[in-house]
Chains A and B, each alone.
Chain A
Amino acid sequence: MVDDLHAHILSLRRYAYVLCRNHTDADDLVQETLLKAIAAARTYRPDRDLRAWLFSILHNTFLSHRRQYARRARAATFLKASLQDANTLPGQEKYVEAQHTLRMLSRLTPDQQSALILVAAEGLPYEEAAKILDIPIGTLMSRLARGREKLRQLVGDDGPNRLKAVK
């Protein structure tokens, strides 16, 4: 259980990074999560899934500072996108596509973002992702479906502008 802690923290960092879209905020979020976990360690039951417990703390921490992180994420994504748009070479098109997807991801509701990131970035099973978000599995699937469809539309609608910038 504790032996897997390091691997879980790597997962937390990935999840936090996609949520915050910059290393500084992601590290802050992980640090705050770990501080909260240390404070709550006495209440942790050893038979509970450690990864799900840590992710729940991180998710709730993110939600409580959502606006603050969202503003910074928007700024970070904007700055990165501007730099890329100005200097992108044709071989970097794929990278730009990924950046664009991430930029559009921030336009989804936080619930949809969390569902998508947990399943896509971390490859968590639906049951575990639902447990982390403290929602029924049906709600998770619904958020996932709506989030993906919305993201697809956003990426598609904004496509011509993006390609123009790349060219």
Chain B
Amino acid sequence: MDKEEPLEFELHCYVDGVLDDEAMARMENCIRKHPEMAAKVRDYLQQKDDIRSFARAATATGPSAAINTLERQLARRLKRNALYWWRRVGVIAALVVVGWLGHVVYVPLVEGPEFTNEILQAHILTSGFPDEMLPISEERIGKLFARIGEIEHLPDLRSLGFQPAGAQLLPSDEGIVLHVPYRDAAGTTISYFLFHDRHKAEVPLHLLHREGFTIAYWQHDYSRYALAAQLSDEQTARIAEFVESAPDIF
């Protein structure tokens, strides 16, 4: 087959005028060389012309009254439908916004901030295996407070019967958290958490319950506090109120 010979579909594209100028010129060159191809193209064009001229007769007379009436009815329906669709899009968008707002506002109210899940896991781990915590010293505590960007102040809970059992830093979605578990003589553990927020805020004390534990959280200025313990709400709230005003252990 001649390398320059066009494919069958190109012949039809030529007849229907969908080739670019370069392809058209190439086709015309081939048509000049091949009379049988020229005859074919001429016949195809003639068919098109015949069908088109026949079709033109359809609109030589105006549409019937019935078609005009139906056209008006359809136009009205389509206009109404367009409004309906936009309204539907608007309702869906409003539902998405309401859902998102609900998620943003309602979920923290009911379930507490996300970090409460992380601190609860940390508390469960350390209360179960207190020996795995590194012991504290004034120097170490100073470094850990410096790492989280807070002024060193480890609450002294000895008046409530709790001694610090260790200290560690935890990663969380909201930043690095200082975790200090306290234990009393009966082996009850209460975890104290502190991290530095980039935004200043005042959040009053909130209590919530997870897996049998009570979690308390609040914020003062840039400092966000949390406690986790297997204690009653009253006990946890009393300790939480004491924490901020408690003297420094060192």
User: Considering the complex, which residues of chain B in the window 218-236 have a beta carbon less than 8 Å from any beta carbon of chain A?
Assistant: none
Which chain B positions have C-beta within 8 A of A38?
Answer: 70, 73-74, 77
Contact across chains for B79 and A155 when beta carbons are under 8 A apart: no
- Is A44 part of the contact surface with B, judged by Cβ < 8 Å? yes
- Report B136 CB to chain A, min CB distance, Å: 65
Whether A160 sits at the interface, judged by CB under 8 Å, is no
Shortest Cβ distance from residue A25 to the other chain B in the assembled complex, whole angstroms: 11
A79 at the interface (CB under 8 A from B): no
Q: Is A70 an interface position by the 8 A CB rule?
A: no
Count CB-based A-B contacts (< 8 Å). Answer: 128
Interface assignment of A163: CB less than 8 Å from any CB of chain B: no
Q: Which of A2, A23, A99 is B58 in contact with, Cβ under 8 Å? A: A23
Instruction: Report yes or no: B82 in contact with A152, Cβ–Cβ below 8 A.
Output: no
Min Cβ gap A3→B in Å is 9
Residue pair B47, A120 in contact (C-beta under 8 Å): yes
CA A47 to CA B92, docked complex, whole Å: 17
- A2 pairs with B12, CB closer than 8 A: no
| CB interface residues, A 88-133, toward B, < 8 Å | 97-99, 101-102, 105, 116-117, 119-123, 125-126
| Interface pair A144/B43, CB less than 8 Å apart | no
Contact at B78–A13, with CB atoms within 8 Å? Answer: no
Interface residue? B110 (CB, 8 A): no
Q: Is the CB of B50 within 8 A of A6?
A: no
Q: Chain B: interface secondary structure?
A: helix
Please pick, from A6, A126, A151, the residue contacting B71 in the complex, using a CB distance under 8 A.
Answer: A6
The answer to whether B250 has its CB under 8 Å from any CB of chain A is no
Q: Which one, A2, A9, A16, A121, contacts B51 given CB within 8 A?
A: A121
Any chain A CB within 8 A of the CB of B84? Answer: yes
List of B residues within 8 angstroms of A41 by Cβ: 74, 77-78, 80-81
| Chain A neighbourhood of B85, CB < 8 A | 45-46
- Report the minimal beta-carbon distance from A50 to chain B, rounded to whole angstroms: 8
A101 touches B82 (CB 8 A): no
Residues from chain A with Cβ under 8 Å of B245 in the complex: none
A30 and B6 CA atoms in complex are apart in Å by: 39
A58 located at the interface, meaning its Cβ lies under 8 Å from any Cβ of chain B in the complex: no
Name the residue on A nearest B71 (C-beta): A9
Contact of A121 among B46, B55, B61 (CB under 8 A): B55
Min distance, Cβ A108 to any Cβ of chain B, angstroms: 11
Contacts A18-B55, A34-B71, A102-B54; A1 near B47 (Cβ below 8 A): no
Q: Which residues of the partner chain A approach B44 to less than 8 Å between Cβ atoms?
A: 148, 152
- Residues of A contacting B53 with CB < 8 Å? 98
- B46 CB to closest chain A CB (Å) equals 7
User: Do A44 and B12 have beta carbons less than 8 Å apart?
Assistant: no
Closest-CB distance, A7 to chain B (whole angstroms):
11
Q: Return A166 CB to nearest CB of chain B, in Å.
A: 15
B60 to chain A, nearest CB (A): 10
Taken together as a complex, chains A and B put the C-alpha atoms of A148 and B11 apart, in Å, by 11
B57 to chain A: which residues have CB within 8 Å? 17
Asked if B52 and A35 make an inter-chain contact with CB atoms under 8 angstroms apart, the answer reads no
Q: With A and B bound together, what is the CA distance between A50 and B80 in angstroms?
A: 15
Known contacts A1-B82, A46-B85, A126-B18; decide if A155 and B61 are in contact (CB<8 Å).
Answer: no
Q: Can you name 20 A-B residue pairings with CB atoms under 8 Å?
A: A17-B57, A18-B54, A18-B55, A30-B63, A34-B71, A42-B77, A44-B81, A98-B54, A101-B51, A102-B54, A116-B47, A117-B55, A119-B16, A121-B55, A123-B52, A125-B18, A126-B18, A144-B12, A152-B43, A155-B43
Q: Please report A residues at the B interface, Cβ cutoff 8 Å.
A: 1-2, 5-6, 9-10, 13-18, 23, 26-27, 30-31, 34-35, 37-38, 41-42, 44-46, 50, 97-99, 101-102, 105, 116-117, 119-123, 125-126, 141, 144-145, 148, 151-152, 155-156
Give me 9 other A-B pairs in contact (C-beta within 8 A), A2-B78, A17-B57, A98-B53 excluded: A2-B82, A10-B59, A44-B78, A44-B81, A120-B47, A121-B54, A148-B44, A155-B43, A155-B47
